[in-house]
Amino acid sequence: MAAAAAASASAERGVDVKKDGEEEQVVNPWEVSAGKGGIDYDKLVDQFGCQRLDAALVDRVARLTGRPPHRFLRRGIFFAHRDLNEILNLYERGEKFYLYTGRGPSSEALHLGHLIPFMFTKYLQDAFKVPLVIQLTDDEKFLWKNLTVEESKRLARENAKDIIACGFDVERTFIFSDFSFVGGAFYENMVKVARCVTYNKVVGIFGFSPEDHIGKVSFPPVQAVPSFPSSFPHLFAVNDQLRCLIPCAIDQDPYFRMTRDVAPRIGYQKPSLIESRFFPALQGENTKMSASDPNSAIYVTDTRKEITTKVNRYAFSGGQDSVELHRKLGANLNVDVPIKYLNFFLEDDDVLEHIKKEYKEGRMLTGEVKQRLIEVLYELVARHQRARAQVTEEMVDAFMAVRPLPNMFG
């Protein structure tokens, strides 16, 4: 392949090929890694061809919903989008849309990074009063991880409890697992999508290699079609042109690039997207939290003691090596993980600004910032644990029942 063509194919996959010796940035649904400076999100937006979510758009969301923007919007954590403006234009004219998000159930316990899209989706559901479908891709995790069908299904149901604990409204939310729901109109849409995507195209988007099994190659339509209302006849039979908005982390973008490419060719609307940064590992911005490295992540099941130990021992500090030096030079907030985590979870903007200023100018020490973070995380995790303990098997069944939603747009 000519060098330019190779480079552009790599760029489409989010692989940033650099000169010898330099690290390359890789972002796709299965791998996220970056060089020392962390993920270059600006470069990703350009490579993927999505749009930046600017302050004007955040203001517009606030105006239309009549409530303050979520801190994830205020702080640029959801930082990119595709056609969000179109959804808002329709909404302004009194037309509704639906939300679609999902989770691949690869682990028993969720970590804080997994909660981010669901916390944000819950805010969107409340703010816009719209229906929501949540896909649990138990089939995806069967195909990619070394799990049995039974184990993938069990994890999907366990994860559903954590998702429900985020506070979704059962009258507006349908949760489904692929193993139990795929069929009927959903499957018809899958084959419509599949017929529009060549093998070359799927390799270009996802970077599959000849050694990959064909289960991987054929999976993308499964994640694509919840973007189309006609996949859910029990919900949207009367409105098969209803628009869809997908909140997700930016690593899922390839699936929806493919979906948006195909949609008009099969007579459907393109879904819109609102996309987030990754929640960094305790060790720093170079990668996202990994479910397979327990010391890289805070889990929603962690105890106060575990949170304390992990933050104190592993959270990468931008503070100086000695107190004297720190008082003189202050902290480097750009690399400091406790500050990054507070940016995600500390609600009060003024308090956050105060901590940043004091820390940056050396009046606050790393230990004090970490203490604040431990309090914030513990409160969040404890609240989640209380909510999850209230989730019964009957509630899971209620969310997952194939039924009309009584109060979709109420």
Q: In this complex, which beta carbon is closest to ligand TRP, that of residue 196 or of residue 291? A: 291
Minimum distance of ligand TRP from residue 251's CB (angstroms) = 9
Q: In this complex, which beta carbon is closest to ligand TRP, that of residue 47 or of residue 101? A: 101
Site string for ligand TRP, 7-36 (x = CB under 6 A): ----------------------x-------
Binding region for ligand TRP (CB under 6 A) out of 10-18, 63-71, 97-105, 213-221: 97-105
Minimum distance of ligand TRP from residue 117's CB (angstroms) = 6
Q: Is 102 in the site for ligand TRP (CB under 6 A)?
A: yes
Binders of ligand TRP in range 216-235 (CB under 6 A):
223
Minimum distance of ligand TRP from residue 53's CB (angstroms) = 17
For the purposes of burial, counting CB atoms within 10 Å of the CB of 217, is it exposed (0-12), middle (13-18) or buried (19 or more)? middle
Integer Cα distance of 198 and 398 in angstroms: 39
Nearest to 208 by CA among 23, 30, 5: 30
Q: In this complex, which beta carbon is closest to ligand TRP, that of residue 139 or of residue 336? A: 139
- Contact residue for ligand TRP among 121, 152, 252, 287 (CB under 6 A): 252
Q: Is 103 in the site for ligand TRP (CB under 6 A)?
A: yes
Q: In this complex, which beta carbon is closest to ligand TRP, that of residue 14 or of residue 104? A: 104
Minimum distance of ligand TRP from residue 30's CB (angstroms) = 8
Site string for ligand TRP, 125-144 (x = CB under 6 A): ----------x-x--x----
Q: In this complex, which beta carbon is closest to ligand TRP, that of residue 249 or of residue 364? A: 249
Binding region for ligand TRP (CB under 6 A) out of 98-106, 198-206, 383-391, 399-407: 98-106
Q: In this complex, which beta carbon is closest to ligand TRP, that of residue 178 or of residue 336? A: 178
Using CA atoms of 293, 296, 301, 306 in order, give the dihedral in degrees to the nearest 10: 110
- Contact residue for ligand TRP among 99, 202, 246, 364 (CB under 6 A): 246
- Contact residue for ligand TRP among 104, 113, 207, 318 (CB under 6 A): 104
Q: Is 107 in the site for ligand TRP (CB under 6 A)?
A: no
Q: In this complex, which beta carbon is closest to ligand TRP, that of residue 208 or of residue 316? A: 208
Count of residues interacting with ligand TRP (CB under 6 A):
12
Nearest to 87 by CA among 100, 78, 96, 76: 96
Binding region for ligand TRP (CB under 6 A) out of 5-13, 99-107, 288-296, 397-405: 99-107
Minimum distance of ligand TRP from residue 101's CB (angstroms) = 4
- Contact residue for ligand TRP among 175, 248, 281, 365 (CB under 6 A): 248
Calculate ∠ Cα 204-114-291, nearest 5°: 80
Nearest to 179 by CA among 150, 209, 218, 210: 150
According to the 3-state scheme, what is the secondary structure of the chain? CCHHHHHHHHHHCCEECCCCCCCCEEEECCEEECCCCCCCHHHHHHHHCCEECCHHHHHHHHHHHCCCCCHHHHCCCEEEEECHHHHHHHHHCCCCEEEEEEECCCCCCCEHHHHHHHHHHHHHHHHHCCCEEEEECHHHHHHHCCCCHHHHHHHHHHHHHHHHCCCCCCCCEEEEEHHHHCCHHHHHHHHHHHHHCCHHHHHHHHCCCCCCCHHHHHCHHHHHHHHCHHHCHHHHCCCCCCEEEEEEEHHHHHHHHHHHHHHHHHCCCCCEEEEECCCEECCEEEEECCCCCHHHCCECCCCHHHHHHHHHHHCCCCCCCCHHHHHHHCCCCCCCHHHHHHHHHCCCHHHHHHHHHHHHCCCCCHHHHHHHHHHHHHHHHHHHHHHHHCCCHHHHHHHHCCCCCCCCCC
Q: Is 277 in the site for ligand TRP (CB under 6 A)?
A: no
Binders of ligand TRP in range 47-86 (CB under 6 A):
none
Q: From the centroid of its chain, how far is CA 29? A: 11
Q: Is 101 in the site for ligand TRP (CB under 6 A)?
A: yes
Binding region for ligand TRP (CB under 6 A) out of 101-109, 186-194, 354-362, 373-381: 101-109
Binding region for ligand TRP (CB under 6 A) out of 81-89, 100-108, 361-369, 373-381: 100-108
Q: In this complex, which beta carbon is closest to ligand TRP, that of residue 104 or of residue 229? A: 104
User: Which residues contribute to the site for ligand TRP (CB under 6 A)?
Assistant: 29, 101-104, 135, 137, 140, 223, 246, 248, 252
